Every structure is written in C-alpha cells, then in structure tokens.
Structure 1
Amino acid sequence: MAISIAIETPLQDDVRGLVERLNAHLLPLSPVEFQFKMTVEQMADSDTTLFVARDESGTAVGMGALKAHGPELGEVKRMYTVPQVRGQRVGRQLLERIVGLARERGLAAVMLETGTGEGMAEAHRLYTRYGFVPRGPFLDYPDSEWSAFFEMQLIAERVA
C-alpha cells in the first residue's frame, strides 16, 4: 500500500476522526487524569506541526505531531495509526518525518510521553527500535505508573 505523508492542518473532519479514534483507544488504558491529550484546536497552534498519513484513496490512516518547547526541545504528540495499517511501517514513517523536522529545526532533543501496559507495547517497540531511550518525566508530566517517557538526543548530531 502506498502511503503519502504531509504536513496538514488538524482542523479537518478526517483528522478530527483520527483524534476521536485515538482518544477511544486510550480511554480504557489509564485513568483520564494521566492521559495528556491535545485537541485539534491545540494541535493547530503555531508551535505544533502535524503530519498526516494518507492511503492511495486519500483516506487519513495515521498522524503524529511535533510540538516545539522552545529552541531546544521537541515533543512527539498524538501518534496514531488506524488498526488496518498497523504493521505496515506507517508509524515509523510518521516518526521519521517528525524527527527529521526536529533535526531541520536544530532541536537538541525529542522526547515523548506515552502510556504503559499491554495496549501500548507496539508504541514502545516503535520508539525503542527507532532509537528512543527510556528516561524519567520531563516538562510538567507527573511521575506515575501510567506513563512511560522516552527521548532521542539530537545535539550530538549537530556537533559531530
């Protein structure tokens, strides 16, 4: 299956649909107070860049965003692929675009927070296979059993 990935506005009905599906997927996995969701309106802010993956027919099948926290830190947000395309490297392609944009912008690091438990095993595998390493909480995320944190340092690439 051919997939195209582009920067798009989150303020589209099909992206709203992806966000709804992601939220529904996450809801049973952890308490709501430990789910750090962004709305499409928040994703439309100038500090966030959303990538949308589409299949040959133009259907949105995945998304992922880079949220900038100043000139040094980027955060991966709202990573999701529909179940029908899982295992076809769509998530990896989205992650490549997100990390690539962070490199282009000269960010020192990219970090992310994700859930724990069986429902998140695929996500953890994707991040670690791509080169992210576990770390402790960052920004204002609380340290809890419901969150796993990962980072990828990019600054060594800048000075090498």
Structure 2
Amino acid sequence: MDIRIDPLTGPAIAALLQEHLDDMALHSPPESVHALDLERLRRPGITFWTAWEDGALLGCAALRALDAEHAELKSMRTARAHLRRGVAAALLRHVMEEARRRGFRRLSLETGSPAAFLPARALYTRFGFVLCGPFGNYGPDPYSVFMTRAL
C-alpha cells in the first residue's frame, strides 16, 4: 500500500469524496454533516493523503491543524471495494505518525453517532481515542461523537 499526499485533482478522489459526502447525508441532517468537500480540503492547514495499490484508490484521510499543539483527523474514508482490508488502520497510523512528527500533542476527531458509524468508532477506540466534548468550532450535536487522544 502506497500512502501519499494527494493534490485533490484526480477524478478517483473526487468520486470517493462525493461518496463520503453522500453517505454522511444518508445518516445525518445537513446541519450535522461536518465532512469537507474538495474545496475546503484544499485550504491551508490541511494535509490530505490517499492510499493506493496497483493503481486503485483504497482510501483517504486528512489532518487539519487546529493550533500549534492540537490537530483534527478529517475525511477518513475507505473505498467500498476495499473495506475490511486494513486500509483505515494504515491511514490512521500514517496520520498519527505525521501528527507526532509535526509536533502536535493531541489529535481529535468528530464522527457520527448513528449505528452506521459504529465500525469507525470501534477503529478509533482501538487506536486509543476516547470520548470528549466538542472542540474547535464544533458545538454539541446529537448526531456527532467527539473523540481525542494524546500523542
């Protein structure tokens, strides 16, 4: 698996991110969908990675700096054809290592509270994330679960 910084310009990543946004909309009302589109992922302070194997896009993840010590995991997604193959775990390891390398001391995330997000929450728990309150610009939201971990 090759994990690399992605310029967010190819059709494969555009399609995967649209799939991500569409799935979020299935499980949460519009005001509770916090996933970023292509344009917002291109903003300064965000690094975006994709995972590839034999020319196939496996998944993606992003890291957004909140301040000098705190970063947020964004846009974690595994392509449907590659679920249950360790893609998300590899991407999460990669982002956590990069966050440490950049000097962040805390990594937080927002994910959904509906049952469809149980596999994601289980992954984050396996990697040491614990429940926390809203952070950054988030507010309380019954469709959101906030998690964090020290690096």
TM superposition score normalised by structure 2: 0.95
Count the aligned residue pairs. Answer: 151
Aligned to 1:120: 117
What does residue 151 of structure 1 align with?
148
Using the TM superposition, give the Cα deviation of residue 12 of structure 1 relative to its aligned residue in structure 2, in angstroms: 2.1
Amino acid at match of 1:73: H
Tell me the CA shift for residue 75 of structure 1.
0.3
Aligned counterparts of 1:116 and 1:55: Cα–Cα separation in 2: 31
Q: Is 2:71 the partner of 1:68?
A: no
2:40 corresponds to? 42
Q: What secondary structure, in the 3-state scheme, does the structure 2 residue paired with 1:141 have?
A: coil
Task: State how far apart, in whole Å, the 1-side matches of 2:80 and 2:113 are.
Answer: 19
Match of 2:138 among 128, 136, 141: 141
Cα offsets for 1:106-149 (capped at 9, x unmatched): 11100000111111011001100011111111112121210000
The answer as to whether partners of 2:65 and 2:72 remain within 8 angstroms in 1 is: yes
* Contact 1:11 1:41 survives alignment (8 Å): no
For the Cα contact (< 8 Å) 1:54–1:60, is it kept in 2?
yes
What amino acid does structure 1 have at the position aligned with 2:50? V
Percent identity over the alignment is 30
Match of 1:19 in 2: 17
Between the aligned partners of 1:139 and 1:46, the Cα distance in structure 2 is: 16
1:138 maps to amino acid = F
Q: Counterparts of 1:101 and 1:112 in 2: how far apart (Å)?
A: 16
Provide the C-alpha distance between the structure 1 equivalents of 2:9 and 2:132, rounded to a whole number of angstroms.
32
Structure 1 segments unaligned to the other structure (5+ residues): 155-160
Unaligned 5+ residue runs, structure 2?
Answer: none
Deviates more, 1:39-48 or 1:64-73: 39-48
Deviation at 1:54, TM superposition (A): 1.1
Match of 1:106 in 2: 103
Instruction: Name 1:158's counterpart in structure 2.
Output: none
4+ aligned runs moved over 6 Å, structure 1: none
TM (norm. structure 1) is 0.90
